[in-house]
Amino acid sequence: MATARQRAQAFCDRFGLVLPILQAPMSGSSPPELAVAVAEAGGMGAAGVLRDTPERIAEWAERFRAGSSGALQLNIWIPEPPVADQGERRRRSDDARMFLARFGAPGEEGGPGALAFPDQCEAILAARPAVISSIMGLFEPAYVRRMHDQGIAWFACANTLEDALAAEEAGADAVVAQGMEAGGHRGAFRQEDAERTDVGLFAMIPWFADHLRVPIVAAGGIADGRGVAAALTLGASAVQVGTALLRCPETGISARWAASLDGLAPEDTMTTRAYSGRLARAVPSAYLKAWTEPDAPRPARFPDQLQLVNQWRRGDAESVDPGNHWAGQSAALATPDPAGEVITRMWREATTLLP
């Protein structure tokens, strides 16, 4: 059986890395400058392109390649199947709309229209990243074949062994094991099961390692060398970090969001559907806590809740959070140092702990 160092080295050799640390592809907080800094330090840069048009995807990739020739990952959500009970969907949206009225008046309806998933997928292929990754489901077989024909690897995010095995069977080159500690959205294939899949990363990794043939990338609650070493020791070949990079100057998040991460205890983060309709881990706020009160309805389904929240943000609802302030349980370990320094330090610390 390969040692932790051997697994990590094999992963780095396969994907052109110096160190086995990947930037999490955080939609909305992954500017090219952050990905360049990570890639230039020897890791893998990334972007979540869920909200990007094909033109923006191409522009982002061009800006990245102007600054680095390193490895790049582009990530997108797999669309949910159509909701069978449209009546129930409308009721939840109506209830959420009435509840949001307590925060102030909404702005105009509308905003950016829905993006065409097939067009985004074509743009991702055209960008030729080293890795295309999926979350909340699996790509169609024909797309996986086209990906592999172009020499692009597919990384699939999974929260359960059932989903991880399905991804491996479908041709995934690696599985991103996302523990419940992770900030942002939980990658459950069936969104109605997201609350049930609250498995900690360090219980998940050996469970996956004992059943999967493909490499495992550990994600969730890793923000220093101790977490990297632990994940590799338990069976991962690499790690993926997001919250650890949020306070870096290259990320460029708001001062309010950055300040909320400073000293944020693991137990003080919260999971919520109140931003988008899908379960995610975030910084607690008065707005999010209001949705946990006894008289609060369930948030609307995705993307209805997301559209409603954006409508209220366009109005005079000052008590609605101005942005989605995601945070993993390792938030207190995040530092405001440059991203390259952060991941270099993480790997240096990890190597002192690995046998």
DSSP string, 99-130: HHGGG-----S--SPPP-HHHHHHHHHHH--S
- Sheet order of strands, 216-219 included: 21-23, 238-241, 216-219, 174-178, 153-158, 131-135, 72-77, 45-48
Q: What is the pLDDT of residue 85?
A: 83
Q: Please, which pLDDT band fits residue 84 given cuts at 50, 70 and 90? A: confident
Question: What is the average per-residue pLDDT within 95-123?
Answer: 89
Q: What are phi and psi of 86, to 5 degrees?
A: -70, -30
Q: Please, which pLDDT band fits residue 115 given cuts at 50, 70 and 90? A: confident
Position 111 pLDDT exceeds 80: no
Position 322 pLDDT exceeds 80: yes
Q: Please, which pLDDT band fits residue 83 given cuts at 50, 70 and 90? A: confident
Distances (CA, A) of 186 to 212, 219, 346: 21, 11, 24
Say which residues have a Cβ less than 8 Å from residue 21's Cβ, sequence separation at least 6.
38, 43, 44, 228, 238, 239, 240, 241, 343, 346, 347
Task: Give the CATH number, domain containing residue 221.
Answer: 3.20.20.70
Position 70 pLDDT exceeds 90: yes
Report helix, strand or coil for 348: helix
C-alpha 141: how far from its chain's center?
23
C-alpha 321: how far from its chain's center?
20
CA atoms within 13 A on the CB side of 305: 23
Report helix, strand or coil for 176: strand
Q: Count structural domains, the chain.
A: 1
Question: What is the average per-residue pLDDT within 269-291?
Answer: 97
- Residue 311: closest CA among 108, 115, 113: 108
Question: What is the average per-residue pLDDT within 205-220?
Answer: 98
Mean pLDDT of the chain: 96
Question: What is the average per-residue pLDDT within 212-236?
Answer: 98
d(CA 133, CA 115): 18
Question: What is the average per-residue pLDDT within 324-341?
Answer: 98
110: left (phi over 0), alpha (psi -120 to 50) or beta: left
Position 350 pLDDT exceeds 70: yes
Q: What is the pLDDT of residue 163?
A: 98
Q: Please, which pLDDT band fits residue 71 given cuts at 50, 70 and 90? A: very high
Question: What is the average per-residue pLDDT within 102-121?
Answer: 86
Q: Please, which pLDDT band fits residue 81 given cuts at 50, 70 and 90? A: confident
Q: Look at the chain and count its residues.
A: 355
Q: Please, which pLDDT band fits residue 205 given cuts at 50, 70 and 90? A: very high
Check: CB of residue 139 under 8 Å from CB of residue 154.
yes
Question: What is the average per-residue pLDDT within 338-344?
Answer: 98
Q: What is the pLDDT of residues 142-174, one digit of tens each?
A: 999 999 999 999 999 999 999 999 999 999 999
Q: What is the pLDDT of residues 184-193, one digit of tens each?
A: 999 999 988 9
Distances (CA, A) of 45 to 61, 163, 299: 11, 25, 33
Domain span at residue 276 reads: 4-353
- Residue 186: closest CA among 174, 194, 176, 196: 194
d(CA 114, CA 117): 9
Q: What is the pLDDT of residue 82?
A: 82
d(CA 316, CA 155): 41
Q: Which two structure tokens, joined as six digits, stand for 127?
A: 């960008």
